[in-house]
Structures are given as C-alpha cells and as structure tokens.
Amino acid sequence: MTADTTLTTVKVTTAARDRLAVLAAEAHQSIGAFIAGVADRIPTAAELDARDERTRHVLAQLGVDLTPADRQAGEALWAALDAGDDDALDALGAGNSILARLLFGTPRGVDDVVAALYRGPRLLAPALSLLQAGRRRTGLAEHIAALETLRIVELDTAAIVALCGPLADLDSDTGHAIHTAARNDASVITPTPELYPESVRTVRLPL
C-alpha cells in the first residue's frame, strides 16, 4: 500500500498564508508539509474516543471503573495539576478515583487539543517515583507506562546534578518529583504534602 501523494489547493486569507509561511519556515518545512504535520497531530473525535477507551481499559485493570460523569469531573480537575510523586502513583494503583479522573479527563475541544499537543501531557510521572511505586505493586509500572495521557519523566543529567546537589538531603524519588515540578512549573500531587519543603507547590491528594 502506497501513501497518497495527491496534492490539492486550500484557500486561506493572505494573513493566514503569511502566518503559515513564518511558522513553516521556523519549523524548516514547506507550508504544505507544515499543514500536513499539524493535521496528522490533531486527533479526530473518533481517535479521541478510541484513546478514551484505551485509558478506561488500563484503569479498569488497576481497579477503577469510569463513566462519562468521571470524564466531566476529570476535565474540571485537569487545569492546574501536573506532577505526581510515588505515593500519588500508589494511590492510582490502589484505585484512587481523583487521579483516574485526571487521566480520563483529556481535552476534547479543538483549542484545548492543540494546547495539549503543544505542551504535552500535563500529568507527569517522575521516573524515580514510578520506580518506587512499581516495586511496591507488581504490574503497576507496566500499566502506568501504557497510559497515553500521562508522561513518564526520565532521570536526565540535570535531574542527577540536582539530586547530587541541592536536593541531596531528600530521598531520590522525592527529589525527582520536586525537580520535575520545578522544571515544568507544576504542582506535586501527593497525599503527604508535609514531606515536601514549604517552597514546593503541592496539591493534597485525598485518599
């Protein structure tokens, strides 16, 4: 099966054409390639529905059954919550409905979808937090890794330097959560905010 290489014409305003030309040039692409790339990245309603079903399937394996009402609740919670520590991931593994709703409440409007694609998943799982949580519950890491609405943050050089420097007095998983939150201007979702320095923005996760 060969790819469709048929070209067509799309009429836009002069202002839109000029803006597309600038954006395409910044991406080192032709206008046509840039538009095709944007179209490929924005999911259709059917593709979002399919992603929802995959998310619901994974969460069901973690003991959480979700309904359309949970989607609405998740959308309401989505806006300001970004990073989770290992206790929060444990809570999800134990069937925490708050985190499950966040994962299920993915954007639906075109503007929200474009914004989400630009910034990536807003719910982040620091790798060291996932490591600690995954060691406590068999299969948890595999399920978390399968969630498309969550991004696992790798332990990179900058994180290692921070954990060996200003965050050296903290447990490695806690330090990685703090570092992840700081780099992404995020809050740490945790049922135990008292474990974090007062300078860290936290959101208490009810259990």
Domain boundaries, the chain: 7-41, 45-204
CB-CB neighbours of 117 under 10 Å? 14
Residues in the chain: 207
* Measured distance CA(189)–CA(187) in Å, rounded: 6
What is the arithmetic mean of pLDDT over 64-85? Answer: 66
The model's pTM is 0.65
Q: How far apart are the first and last CA of the chain?
A: 51
User: Edge-to-edge strands of the sheet including 150-153?
Assistant: 150-153, 123-126, 83-84, 188-190, 202-204
pLDDT of residue 192: 87
What are φ and ψ of residue 123, in 5° steps? -100, 115
* Topology given in CATH for the domain delimited by 45-204: Rossmann fold (3.40.50)
pLDDT band for 63, please (50, 70, 90 cuts): confident
CA-wise closest residue to 106 among 88, 120, 89: 120
What is the arithmetic mean of pLDDT over 39-52? Answer: 82
pLDDT of residue 14: 92
**pLDDT tens-digit readout, 145-160:** 988 878 899 999 999 9
Q: Do 93 and 150 contact (CB within 8 A), yes or no?
A: no
pLDDT band for 191, please (50, 70, 90 cuts): confident
CA-wise closest residue to 104 among 118, 91, 123: 123
Average confidence score pLDDT of the chain: 81
Helix, strand, or coil here: 116?
A: helix
pLDDT of residue 120: 56
